[in-house]
Amino acid sequence: MGDVEFLKEMIELFLSYIPQQMQDIKQAIEEDDSQKLSDTAHACKGLIGNYTKLDPYHLLLMLEDDAESGQLDESLIKYHSLEKEISQLVVELKMLMSQECNNVHSSPEKIDSIQRRCT
């Protein structure tokens, strides 16, 4: 499998998992379940970390910290910010797939450049 195919597969995997991850985080907040929030935010952080260490990743860190401290009062606000950030990341990853990953002649340097735009 080439670099382009691997990148496309990783993006498709992300797109298939992220909706359930987000639903689980929201449900944990609504149920005031600190343990579930900690677990789901941590798992989602690992998934997001493959694509960016920017705002979505930091929001997940904050949600994980909220869960560990048992202070979920502002977690829903953070979740809504995370939702917006994830939506933007999904758009960017879909654009990346359609524009760049379909070009089977992409060089490894071009793929690295593409990946850096998302981090």
Alpha-carbon gap, residue 78 to 60, rounded angstroms: 8
* Blockwise average pLDDT, block size 10, the chain, 119 residues: 77 93 97 96 91 90 96 95 95 83 53 51
Give the model's pLDDT for residue 76: 96
| Count of positions (residues) in the chain | 119
Q: Any idea which fold 3-117 has?
A: Four Helix Bundle (Hemerythrin (Met), subunit A) (1.20.120)
Question: Where do the domains of the chain lie?
Answer: 3-117
What's the first-to-final CA gap in the chain, in angstroms? 23
